[in-house]
Structure 1
Amino acid sequence: MELNGVKLPRDAALLFARLALASLFVLLGWQKLTAFGPTAAYMAQDGLPLPQLAAAIAVAMELGGGLLIALGVLVSPLALLMAAYTLVTGIVGHHYWTMQGALRADMFIHFWKNVAIAGGWVALSGAGPGRWALISR
């Protein structure tokens, strides 16, 4: 891999991508786990059916999926799953098209960040984990 004449080591770039993408989800998943009751209550307030189950799925996806990808376990299939999860959470949690004013502007940014992050997950899925992974596929 080359950038403006500088060779970038592919495996280092893929490790950085895995860690950078996973870090957000691990941190947020840990927050949800350690404040599970308030997380489920927030999801109920947001209108999600079965908020306890939704919170458990969020913890599993964010904390579990994030840790597995950071370690390099089954990166390609998990990254696709994370991309789908990220898009769904954007639609469910950042539905700016139903909002007005400053909240709409804020949620617009969050929604499109989710889309961008999902793109990163898809790219990582296609590129694979790199050499520094516990289980490469």
Structure 2
Amino acid sequence: MTANASFSQHYSHNPPRSSTFGSCTLSVKSKMALNKLFRLSSALRSAASLTLRRNIGISAVLFNRAKDLDPIQKLFLDKIRDYNAKSKISGGIVEGGASYQKNVSEEVTKLQRLYGGGDLAKFPDFKFSEPKLEEVAK
């Protein structure tokens, strides 16, 4: 007896319940298996998505260490590193010049005039007095 013959003999007494899906006919068991497969695949997709979102910081660091950077990214990173080195050497703004220093000093004097002087580089000290509370008779 061949496999097809045993299959047809088994289902000749108990034909499977089926439904039409497009041009294919699927049994209830195969539909249940497909539903389980779809649920499992969506669960795996959501778990993978969550894992990738949580590890985006780690993957960004790994991608930055890659030797084959995009030429634009490499140029951008080189300019940032160059500016950082120049600012450490100059101790402040790179290539500020005398006109920049003059503008900064003018703005500082304007702010001191507007807000009553003091050191603008220091955070102000606030002093609050306790309010006087009176007891009210009931």
Q: Which has the larger radius of gyration?
A: 2
Higher relative contact order (CA 8 A, sep 6+): 1
Higher percent of residues as helix: 1
Tell me the TM-score range normalised by the shorter chain. under 0.3
Report the TM-score, using the length of structure 2 for normalisation.
Answer: 0.19
